[in-house]
Chains A and B, each alone.
Chain A
Amino acid sequence: MKLSGHYLDKNMSEAEKDLQETILDILRKYIGEEFNAEQVTPTANLEALGIDSMDVVEIIFDLEETFDIDVPDPGDMDDVEVKFDTAQDLVNLVDALIKQKN
């Protein structure tokens, strides 16, 4: 199963909202100085927020620590799409990894 993860706000559960908000808060630590917290939305492109590849590595570490998961490298898993382009990519990924763990 490929997780497409098209979350729509109106259909989101409380747990899903919490997950999304936690991840957005993590991302807010890494955005460039010229950006503000409101610009960090689920669909925003991480690179466009001044988040570089080294930041992504740190963000992955934060996600692993926060959610007690192991984030695979792109291509490592067949059933989970591993990409780090937008906040939503990360939410989908973490959600899938949490479900997999449980």
Chain B
Amino acid sequence: MRIVITGMGAVSSLGYDVDSFIKGIQTGQSGFSTIQQIPEIELLKVKIAAEVPDYDETAHFEKKQLALYDRFTQFQLLSARQAIKDAGLDFKGELAERSSVIMGTGIGGQTTQEQNYKRLFAEGAKRLPPLTVPKLIPNAAASHVTMEFGIKGPSFSIASACASSAHSLAQSCMMLRSGIIDVAVTGGSEACITYGTVKGWEALRVTSKTTCRPFSKDRSGMILGEGSGTIILETLQHAQARGAKIYAEVLGFGMSSDAGNIVQPSMDGAARAMKAALKDAQLAIDDVQYINAHGTGTPQNDPTETAAIREVFGAHADQLAVSSTKSMHGHALGAAAALETIAIVSALQDQIAPPTMNYNEVDPECDLDYVVNKARPMEINIALNNSFAFGGLNAVTVFKRF
């Protein structure tokens, strides 16, 4: 069964829609700036993040909705509204029951969680707002998308840290292939640029204090991002029957677990996921032209991912364009793969490989063609998206120009 992308929505540090996201990554724009949303910023060592710029929640939601929507739910609803409108779908009648909402998030309602812990433990509050629990649950984002659009099929959320929305996409494809749905609303959302979370990242010593330089020898870590991406998937038959515009085809996916270390990436696990994806898509290694890398810019990820790509692609690895758009939109964790899917769609549609920005210096351990510092017009027919999560959970998705 063929599966196609018929709608997209994005909220990211590069802006509030798909166009600004694509323009941003194609022109090498930086979404990094001094953190705005943490009042305790003076107590942080890491003061840079990829925040959704100048976000005013009251511009998008009613007061009553805001009592119920954590920031991550708000972002998910904003990108879902765009994607569903873009796809021209109206979930009425049988379609409502034959559509799903599968959304990834690494953490869920972290802002709500932290605000309320602060009230309770630090400020001595005697009680919490009654909507605390429904606001912070990780499935809140997926649930509110079902409610806003009347989508009544199988829906849930998926948590696999940095690969959450890649696993969501894969899960949605499986449900489409199984025949239980015709349309999948999928993607992910993250909003965890909070004092507590950034402190946690600081302690882990994987976040950069300056910028994100994937694959560059002087790389100093990832830049935490936030935002949301929504992708509408449909069976080709369903899309064509309703005359939908088609952005790209999803050829397949591969998933693997490192069964190794909770944070150290594994060359073997990453390679197995890529091999599984190529096998699922029934492709030969030399069919692939572009890889949107996991490319976090940490000392550990980048050489491991490079070695995994070499392991899978052999000599063809030198023919591949490999870039990390996280150098622009940051690492939006549970939203990362959804946003990167949009990056790939733009690569396939515009025939432009987005760049790896902030690249300074060759690292002998990272010796692929990383499309450094400038987008490259090139022929791209097949592209992969790599997502390798903390916890050793990997998901790779494969897309084809339509």
Q: Which of B42-50, B125-133, B215-223 sits within the interface?
A: B125-133
A58/B127 in contact, CB under 8 A? no
Indicate if A60 sits at the interface (CB-CB under 8 A). yes
Q: Count contacts between A and B, CB distance < 8 Å.
A: 15
A58 to B130, CA, bound (A): 6
Q: B120 in the interface, Cβ–Cβ < 8 Å? A: no
Residues of chain A within 8 A (CB-CB) of B130 are 54, 57-58, 60-61
Interface bin, chain B: under 10
Which B residues touch A60, using CB under 8 A? 130
Q: How far is the CA of A51 from the CA of B130 in the complex (A)?
A: 15
B263 at the interface (CB under 8 A from A): no
| Interface range for A | under 10
For the complex, give the distance between the alpha carbons of A54 and B67 in Å: 12
Contact with B along A60-85 (1 / 0, CB 8 A): 11001100001000000000000000
Q: Nearest Cβ in chain A — how far from B290, in angstroms?
A: 48
With both chains docked as a complex, state the minimum distance between the C-beta of A35 and any C-beta of chain B, in angstroms.
14
Give the residue name and chain of the A residue nearest to B132 (CB): A61
B129 to nearest A CB, angstroms? 6
Question: Is B67 a contact of A64 with CB atoms below 8 Å?
Answer: no
Q: Which residues of A contact B127 (CB under 8 A)?
A: 61, 64-65
- In the bound complex, how far is the Cα of B127 from the Cα of A65, in angstroms? 8
Q: In the complex, which residue of chain A has the Cβ closest to the Cβ of B62?
A: A33
Report how far A52 CA is from B129 CA in the complex, Å: 17
Distance (whole angstroms) from the CB of B148 to the closest CB of chain A: 17
User: Which residues of the other chain, A, contact B131 by a CB distance below 8 angstroms?
Assistant: 54, 58
Report the bound CA distance from A57 to B129 in whole Å.
9
Closest CB-CB distance, A73 to chain B, in whole Å? 13
Q: Quick one: closest B residue to A55, CB to CB?
A: B64
When distances are taken between beta carbons in the complex, the residues of chain B under 8 Å from A54 are 130-131
Name 15 interchain pairs, CB-CB below 8 A, sorted by A. A54-B130, A54-B131, A57-B130, A58-B67, A58-B129, A58-B130, A58-B131, A60-B130, A61-B127, A61-B129, A61-B130, A64-B126, A64-B127, A65-B127, A70-B126
A interface with B by C-beta (< 8 Å): 54, 57-58, 60-61, 64-65, 70
